[in-house]
Structure 1
Amino acid sequence: MRPQNGLRASLAASLTSVFVRPIASAVPANRAGIAFSRGFIATSLWLASPPLKGSRIEPGIRGEWVRAPEVVDGDSVVLYVHGSGYALCSARTHRGLTTRVSAGTGLPVFACEYRLAPRHRFPNAADDVRAAYDRLVAQGYERILVAGDSAGGHLAVDLAAQLIRERKAPPAALALFSPLFDVTFSLAAQRERMSPDPMISAAAAARLVGLYTVDADPGSTRLRFAFDDIKGFPPTIIQAGGREMLAADAIELARALRRAGADCELDVVPGQMHVFQALTRFIPEAAPAMERACRFLTDNLPAIERAA
């Protein structure tokens, strides 16, 4: 008999806690450890969420174009920003997510590549995401949506905030999967004391992110978001798993955006792990969560007024 949905999520979390967390917590944050982690995560993501069959993947400038079956180009696009601590992943590793974002929105997705730590440090990744957004604007896309997971969620928020501060048009809407908010991991550590994250410890995650932020001013508005000077932040949906430590970040980010007057929908799904949307082979809740996020994005696509 197949486990029910909630039981499958619980089983996946238990197995992850037994087999993955000890490895993730023990791998050193050095060159050899990063190389091992990159291979381990790439294999894990391919097994958990392979790309949708029939999707087209084409190279682009500092990234790749992803189109699910029957998706055609128009005036709208999704910019996807991958996560994994600013150090581990790529557009290629996230094809399971990007092909599903393309299918769910009916839009082409540009999955940007950004320079990774430890070789490249703050603000290199953030600058590369901004460059990708600017290229889409230059290519004539009039409506740009942004989605990102984990550290990619942090980069997506930084992108929108920087555009607003520069009085430029921000993305039409954001979808953030388990976004990082507090790069010091203080919020995550507090939540971890209540319930350990099945995937990784707060201390190990902080060491990984620290490879990117090591020389940065921790009070920088591009790392520690306050939104005191931000008006008109795009509509945003935030999803997180109830069993992950970054649920605390998701909750606090939603509070901060709402205080700034943003339309922000928060969806903390009980029993789920970090970026559970990428676990489509094992987690039944992954697909409906992705559908909700994609529907939020397309529901917030503004109509374009064209001259007669």
Structure 2
Amino acid sequence: MSITLPAGGAPIPPADDEKPFGNLGVDPHGSRRSRAVNAYLARVTWPMMLAAGRSHPLVTAQMIQRTRPGLNRTIERLSPPPSGTQVELVRETFRGGQIRGEWVTGRRAADPQPGTRIIYYLHGSGYVVCSPRTHRGLVARLGNRTELSAFSLDYRLGPEHPWPCAGNDAIRGYRWLLAQGYRAEDIVVAGDSAGGHLALDLLAVNHATRTPQPGSMVLFSPLYDPTFDLAVDNQRSGVHDPIINAVTARKILRLYTRTADPDHPRMRIRLTPEMTLPKTLIQYGSLEVMGADARATHDEIVGAGGVSVIQAWPDQGHVFQLMPRLSAEARQAVDTAARFITVTAPTRTEPAS
């Protein structure tokens, strides 16, 4: 089933039998504040992106490593967690590898324990920056609105750890949750940007290894094509992202993908009709160059017979949900994602007496 809510106009109301998740509409009018913020970001970030794009790959790698701590701290300050958020760090050895991450429990969320629903969050940012700390605010807000705790994975980053290290970590993290006693149908996989590609990789590997699939999935501005060719073509067609220069971003992604075959099944992920796929919500900003990736992700799910709702949010940039202080629509988008998670909860059956 394909349900598309287009940008640039009021959402087309589907028939009742095509609206299984209730009202997940998008405000057809972007805010003046968002437009002003995006104009400012374009003036600040594009010169830096262009400078990085002109650098030698080794210089770019050194630049990423040098600027990563400061960039991460800036995002943390712009997206703080709500008051009352509890964080429990996890550092464990599991099946020959490390599980690193944190449990994030908002003040309205239930403590994580087997038998309850949880969110498994995979953060983004090109496989080279960010961490659970940068995304703690977004994860906590999503957890508060769903009343669910979330495990946010701290996967390995490039350029220090090349492909497929991050994907292997995401798969190990999911299996660790299953080993803790969480049922697959009670796990909501959520992620943004590169985390969207990790989520698709997880689904494909789960199918290949006969591992049960998660119950539902929410993706913010997901990456579909890690070669970034889709985004480059989108930029050349006239899309001007307020944050991302696609040509430079493609170079940065190669710090992680390196010499990986673009057609490797864990790079160019293909979903097929025999797969069991979770019901999925995809949100992206209408201004972002990765809109093509979001649409390709939606088409991949629908083409495999899955259910996907895709929303283009007017006048929004990449992963605008992360920055409620900068985007007036961030709160509304997270509320929408939370409603989707709530209505896709598995039906509980009472044991026979």
TM over 0.5: yes
Aligned 8 A contact 1:161 1:230 in 2 = no
CA distance in 2, matches of 1:32, 1:214: 15
* Matched residue type, 2:77: L
Residue 40 of structure 2 aligns to which amino acid in structure 1?
A: L
2:175 corresponds, among 134, 142, 155, to 134
Cα separation, 1, equivalents of 2:173 and 2:38? 35
> SS of the counterpart of 1:199?
coil
1-structure distance, mates of 2:156, 2:39: 33
Task: Spell out, residue by residue over 1:6-57, the C-alpha distance to the aligned partner (whole angstroms, 9 max, x if none).
Answer: 2111101100000122213323553431124413431332232211111001
1:121 match: 162
Q: Within 5 Å, which residues of 2 pair with 1:1-150?
A: 6-27=31-52, 28=55, 30-61=60-91, 62-73=100-111, 74=113, 75-142=116-183, 143-150=186-193
Whole-Å Cα distance in 1 between the matches of residues 69 and 211 of structure 2? 38
2:132/2:153 contact within 8 Å kept: yes
Q: Deviations over 1:171-215 (max 9, x none)?
A: 111100000001121211122121221112111111111111113
1:227/1:10 CA distance change after superposition, 3 Å = same
225-234 vs 248-257, greater mean Cα deviation: 225-234
Q: Which residue of 1 aligns with 2:316?
A: 272
Partner amino acid, structure 2, of 1:48: L
Counterpart AA for 1:251: R
- AA aligned to 1:274 is H
Q: Is the 8 A contact 2:193 2:220 kept in 1?
A: yes
Cα deviation, residue 228, structure 1: 3.3
| 1:179 alignment partner AA | P
Structure 1 residue 86, shift from structure 2 partner? 0.8
Are 2:217 and 2:280, in contact at CA under 8 Å, matched by a contact in 1?
yes
Residue 168 of structure 1 is matched in structure 2 by 211
* SS of residue paired to 1:168: coil
Is contact 1:45–1:96 with CA below 8 Å preserved after alignment? no
One-letter code aligned to 1:262: G
Q: TM-score, normalised by structure 2?
A: 0.82
- Helix, strand or coil at the partner of 1:85: coil
User: Counterpart of 1:184?
Assistant: 227
- CA distance in structure 2 between the aligned counterparts of 1:84 and 1:52, rounded to whole angstroms: 22
**Max Rg structure:** 2
SS in 1 for 2:31: helix
Could you give the per-residue CA deviations for residues 209-239 of structure 1, whole angstroms, max 9, x where no partner exists?
A: 1111113121111110222365221111111
How many pairs are equivalent? 305
- Return the alpha-carbon distance in structure 2 between the equivalents of residues 103 and 243 of structure 1: 28
* 1:239 alignment partner AA: Q
Tell me the equivalent position of 2:25: none
In structure 2, relative to structure 1, the CA distance for the partners of 1:84 and 1:37 (3 Å cut) is farther
How far 1:5 sits from its partner (Å)?
5.6
Task: Give the Å deviation of 1:242.
Answer: 0.4
Structure 1 gaps of 5+ residues are none
Structure 1 residue aligned with 2:6: none
- The answer to whether the Cα contact below 8 Å between 1:120 and 1:212 also exists between their aligned partners in 2 is yes
CA RMSD after TM alignment: 1.7
* Alpha-carbon distance in 2 for matches of 1:174, 1:265: 11
C-alpha separation in 2, matches of 1:269 and 1:108: 26
